[in-house]
Structures are given as C-alpha cells and as structure tokens.
A = this chain, B = another copy of it.
Amino acid sequence: MSKCVVLHSGGLDSTVLLTKLIREGYDCYPLGIEYGQRHAKELLAAKHVCEALAVWEKQQTLFLRQLADLIQSALTGRGDIPHGHYEAEMQKATVFPNRNMILLAIAAGYAETIGAELVAYAAHSNDRAIYPDCRPEFVKSVGETITLGTDGKVKLLEPFVDYRKADIVHEGFHLGAPMQLTWSCYEGQERPCLQCGTCLERTEAFVRDGTRDPALTSEEWEKALEYLRRYTP
C-alpha cells in the first residue's frame, strides 16, 4: 500500500482527490497548509472531511501564516476579492505568487520525512487561464524538481491535470466524496458569497454535471444560479 501525502485544503477538488486515492487503496496523509489565506476556514472544512473519510488521525495542518507577510495576494488580504467569472483578467488579483510550488515543495519534504513515496495534488484544467501553477507544463516541471530534490524518493501524482472541474464533480458523486462538507469561497465569511471567481467556478461545474451543489441550501443554490447567469461572459 503506497504511502501518499495529499495536499488537502478542504476545498472540493482536493476532497474528491483524497476520496479517490483512499478508495484506490493508497495510505493517505492529508496535509493542510495555512499560508495566510483569508478563507482559512477551508482548513476547518478539511478537518471535517478527514473525519468523514476516517483519515482524521493522519491529517496534519501546518501553520505558516507568516508567509503572507512577504508574499501578497488578494487571497491573503491585499485588496478585495474580485467578483466575477473565474477566467476574467481581474481574477489575477487572487494569484498567490508561486503558491503551488511552495505547497508542493513542503509536501515533498514532509513525504520524504515520513517515508511516503508520493505527493498528490488536485491541479485541473479550469484554472489554467489565471493560475500559471496549474498548467500542465508547470505540473510536469514541479514533479521533476521534487524527484530530483528528494534524490528519487518522492514522486508527484496529479490525476486531475486534464480534468475540467465538472469532471471532478462527476467523479465526486460517483465516489461518494463528502462534497457537502467542503469550502471553496475565497471570502471566508459565514456562508459562501456565490459571486467570487471560485464560487462561480464551483456553481458552473455542478451545472455542467447536471447536478447541484450539496453544500448549499435550496435558496442559496437558486441565488448561485442567478449569479452564474449574471457573470458568465
């Protein structure tokens, strides 16, 4: 049974990924990292997800909030979270510079420490337009760097790299992933704002899958559909 560190934020994509790997028989070690994101609330969702998937005891959260002192983004409180479509130019304000390389480098160091030969993360093709660290050429390169940096001991697993988010939702239902417990909204308020890039992207994925978001009430889902119509270019 291969040991695998899974970057697990508590969002939808990484939750479906974690569920998939557990179902496939990997010995999973979920890792959440606080990097100063204003939606640090996703890390609480991660705890609930890991409880539901019975991997609670192997879950770790690393608190590196100080990163946000040096590396800035709307995600960590510089300026407002823009409302609007997730592929719109203004969404670039939500890029946390080089975030995935930082998170993956740490996950790989942790994997080597505990003797895990794999690190998994949930990069997918929807995010390519805005986030350079979700593009396939980045994913390939970061995987090679991890293998070289750990002297061949750790490899990268990214099974969703060619999925659209709707494909992840589809697989999530198929696997019975606890998507109702996940948190995506960048605002990190009491309930999802339904208007930021990640909320709209999430709504769109369920719509494309022909299903609805199990984390929302009926009223919220109606509102989400209305925002999606309003903001879709």
Contact = CB atoms under 8 A, between A and B. Distances in A.
The bracket for how many chain A residues form the interface is: 35 or more
Contacts of A60: 70
Interface majority SS on A: helix, strand, loop or mixed?
Answer: helix
Interface in A89-146: 96-102, 104-106, 108-113, 132-133, 135, 137-138, 141-142, 144-146
A1 interface: no
Interface in A63-95: 63-64, 66-67, 69-72
B108 A97 contact: yes
A190 interface: no
A175 interface: no
Stoichiometry, as copies per complex, reads 2
Identify the interface centre among A99, A138, A141, A145: most chain B CB within 10 Å of its CB: A145
A144 B141 contact: yes
Nearest to A103: B105
A96 B150 CA distance: 10
Interface string A143-155: 0111011110010
Given A71-B113, A113-B70, A101 B146 contact: yes
